[in-house]
Amino acid sequence: MRAICTAIDAGTCDAEIVAVISDRKKAAALEFAEGRGIPTRVVSLRKGDDRDLWNESLASEVATFAPDLIVLAGFMRVLGPPVLERFPGRIINVHPALLPSFPGHSGPQDALDAGVRITGCTVHVVDSGVDTGPIIAQVAVPVLADDTADTLHARIQVQEHRLLPSVIHQIAIGAIELDPLRVNAPMGDATRSLIAPDV
């Protein structure tokens, strides 16, 4: 979120953050947003809570701000039909791997375990799967011989912080159009753009 705000401040991301919503009360993004005067909300999901009700509450909270685009950044929950059906094709996520390889929460470690020499990050449209939605853009990051999951993830995050604001800007100016009818299309058929490796 800091990277998005920095790009907005620099005039390289033509967007406005209308709200920051988290499922965790202590998320650092909430304090940062409040410091910038951005409205914040928390929609908590505790162990044993009804996920459908949580998704409905989240969808209602998001809808109060009437966003054109919903950006998941560090949001580690799989969204359900109440959210996805209310905002079809308008939710994007950034993931620390070159999808469709290494979906899920441990992309950098999975890349190391697989022995690949190149990984990276992906911005994709969110669908009902785990990191399975149409790919919008990707950046390659080399895997170094002495990498750990932490060092690799740190270098991937540098690229995520460049890629995500850039994609948001391209969507805002109409250079990338998100088609809600293609949200469930196979990833290979739905790639919108590929940003070249920055190594």
Q: What angle do CA 168, 16, 88 make, to 5 degrees?
A: 55
Q: Is residue 95 annotated as part of the catalytic site, yes or no?
A: yes
Per-residue pLDDT at 109: 98
pLDDT for the residue 193: 35
Q: Is the dihedral of CA 163, 138, 71, 113 positive or negative?
A: negative
Instruction: State which amino acid sits at residue 10.
Output: A
Model pLDDT, residue 116: 98
Contact 102, 119 (CB under 8 A): yes
* Residues sharing a CB contact under 8 Å with residue 110, sequence separation 6 or more, in sequence order: 97, 101, 102, 104
Whole-number pLDDT of residue 64: 97
Q: What is the pTM of this model?
A: 0.88
pLDDT at 180: 65
Per the residue annotation, which of 95, 124, 161, 169 is the catalytic one?
Answer: 95
Domains and CATH numbers, the chain: 2-189 (3.40.50.170)
Q: What is the pLDDT of residue 184?
A: 46
Mean pLDDT of successive 10-residue stretches along the chain, which has 199 residues: 96 96 93 96 90 95 96 90 95 97 96 98 95 96 98 98 97 87 44 34
